[in-house]
């Protein structure tokens, strides 16, 4: 168990570094290669298409980064965590967490009592719960959208710069293994090989975040957490799905769809905390 905890702590450090590295590389590829090459117009001093796509990409990535920061800034720690920690009779003493009384959890990685703990996110380095679930969901939404957008522009860049045709659906499936072979044979430049790798990185991250987003919205609408689902617990007093979504997204949920701002007040957080106790 001690070795597993070391692995989890190491992952808790590596995952955020991986996220910021991928974000920096994505930003550089978009503004230094993709957008100028695809939408460049030599006849116009100011290209409206370049400005439009650049602004749209900035909107996506700033919302992804903004919700990422908000997920960390508003942790899911319980405000009523004073006193000795009493484990639940059904506590299995998992590697990452203890199950406490009153539906709380003690995360061994965060070293905090978590209110309505859903899971520990290694990319943000903290737990996802009732307080930061809204930011985590929006982070997944904008990250998956950004990856899809980058994937489309990456394919367009390879078509424009290297005359790779994607009319055949099998082209994308065979692109990576063929590119690996051609790269080590010296038949393609390093930039082309790196962009091909990034296409699959964006595809993997985009699909993963989209899956997390759909799962979390479904669980929130049901008033359930991933921890409860994993343990087979059934929510006894289940509120209407609109009420459950309102508890997480707040009354100003429309504003939260477009800006990474706080839409759930502190009074509502304290009310949710008392509800769990």
**Which positions are catalytic?**
121
Let me know: does 73 contact 124? Beta carbons within 8 Å: no
Q: How many helices (DSSP H) and strands (DSSP E) are in the chain? A: 10, 5
- CB crowding 160-184: b at 16 or more within 10 Å, else e: ebeebeeeeeeebeebeeebeeebe
Let me know: does 156 contact 29? Beta carbons within 8 Å: no
Alpha-helical runs (H) found in 111-132: none
Tokens of 96: 């990452």
Nearest-angstrom CA–CA distance, 200 and 204 = 6
Burial class of 21 by CB neighbour count within 10 A (0 to 12, 13 to 18, 19+): exposed
């Amino acid at each position: 168990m001690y070795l597993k905890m070391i692995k989890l702590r190491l992952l808790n450090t590596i995952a955020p570094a991986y996220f910021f590295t991928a974000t920096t590389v994505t930003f550089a590829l978009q503004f230094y290669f993709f957008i100028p090459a695809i939408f460049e117009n030599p006849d116009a001093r100011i290209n409206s298409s370049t400005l439009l796509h650049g602004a749209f990409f900035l909107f996506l990535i700033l919302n992804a980064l903004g919700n990422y920061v908000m997920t960390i800034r508003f942790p899911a720690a319980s405000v009523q965590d004073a006193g000795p920690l009493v484990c639940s009779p059904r506590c299995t003493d998992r590697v990452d967490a203890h199950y406490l009384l009153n539906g709380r959890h003690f995360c061994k990685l965060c070293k905090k009592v978590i209110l309505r703990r859903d899971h520990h996110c290694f990319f943000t380095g903290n737990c996802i719960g009732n307080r930061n679930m809204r930011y985590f969901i929006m982070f997944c939404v904008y990250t998956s959208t950004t990856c899809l957008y980058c994937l489309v522009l990456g394919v367009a860049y390879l078509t424009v710069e290297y005359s790779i045709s994607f009319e055949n659906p099998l082209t994308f499936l065979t692109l990576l293994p063929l590119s690996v072979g051609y790269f080590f044979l010296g038949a393609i430049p390093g930039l082309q090989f790196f962009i091909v790798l990034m296409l699959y990185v964006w595809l993997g991250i985009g699909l993963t975040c989209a899956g997390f987003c759909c799962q979390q919205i479904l669980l929130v609408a049901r008033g359930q957490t991933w921890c409860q689902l994993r343990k087979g617990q059934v929510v006894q007093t289940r509120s209407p799905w609109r009420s459950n979504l309102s508890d997480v997204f707040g009354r100003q949920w429309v504003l939260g769809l477009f800006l990474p701002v706080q839409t759930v007040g502190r009074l509502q957080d304290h009310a949710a905390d008392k509800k769990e106790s």
